[in-house]
A and B are shown apart, each in its own frame.
Chain A
């Protein structure tokens, strides 16, 4: 039986639903101006970085059973930052960064 879980801050980057470990989130800022959107500041646990997104959707808790490795075929075809895992629930697919 697995008991591990992770709380994710879920954001919409315009193409996909991304999930960031809530414990790593420093703060979320609204971007003013024409482009709009939000800036998620990360780095409480790891190295500091900012992530721009279109919308912040809230948080979701995923159990270890709902977390899958990234398919190798996808990992080989992603440029830039690749997700470390995929969250799979009955309703959604989250890319975990």
Chain B
């Protein structure tokens, strides 16, 4: 039978399925389901072709402000242990932590992002997280309030850094990403690790 031709075999309409839905309706529904699946797959492929490979981002927060970092640079996320202060260190340095037998320098991400606010007391670490980033042979832990999750985003969803951000702060970001109904700043691991 030619595709698209009118089916003249009326015998099929006499058939009634046990579910009360005619075989024709069942066939149509099945066809629509298949078409929907095909369309979704095709759409995904097209989206990937248009936007390049997806990026896996770790999303975390300082208060209500969200941030993200490429998962490729995240070595681990852990709860802060005792942090030994270092005299003479910059205000963003919280200190050194024993991280499974290695010495980890922990930085206060709040102070990295807002270096002017140095009169505030050092951040309390209870209930918070340390996100350990590695880039270009350097490694450090960054104290954050909460860690949400890791999500995949098409590369095209990364938008430029907002013009309203001051240049000294803007250099710490790669861009902006829409994530869960909220725009979050995509941090540049390189810029965050280098003073």
Contact = CB atoms under 8 A, between A and B. Distances in A.
A4 interface: no
A55 to B, nearest CB: 14
Interface in A4-36: 13-18
Contact of B86 (A72, A74, A88, A92): A74
Contacts of B90: 77-79
A71 interface: yes
A95 interface: yes
A86 B102 CA distance: 10
A88 B89 CA distance: 19
B93 A74 contact: yes
A15 B87 contact: yes
B107 A73 contact: yes
Secondary structure type dominating chain B contacts: strand
Given A93-B96, A93-B103, A73 B85 contact: no
B123 to A, nearest CB: 16
A93 B98 contact: yes
A88 B82 CA distance: 12
A41 B93 CA distance: 29
A13 B194 CA distance: 27
Contact of A15 (B86, B102, B139): B86
Nearest to A93: B84
Contact of A16 (B84, B97, B139, B195): B84
Nearest to B90: A77
B177 interface: no
A60 to B, nearest CB: 14
A71 B139 contact: yes
Most B CB contacts (10 A, CB to CB) among A13, A68, A77, A86 go to A77
B138 A73 contact: yes
Given A71-B104, A88-B103, A16 B87 contact: yes
A70 B86 CA distance: 11
A61 B122 CA distance: 31
A81 B98 contact: no
Most B CB contacts (10 A, CB to CB) among A13, A15, A71, A78 go to A71
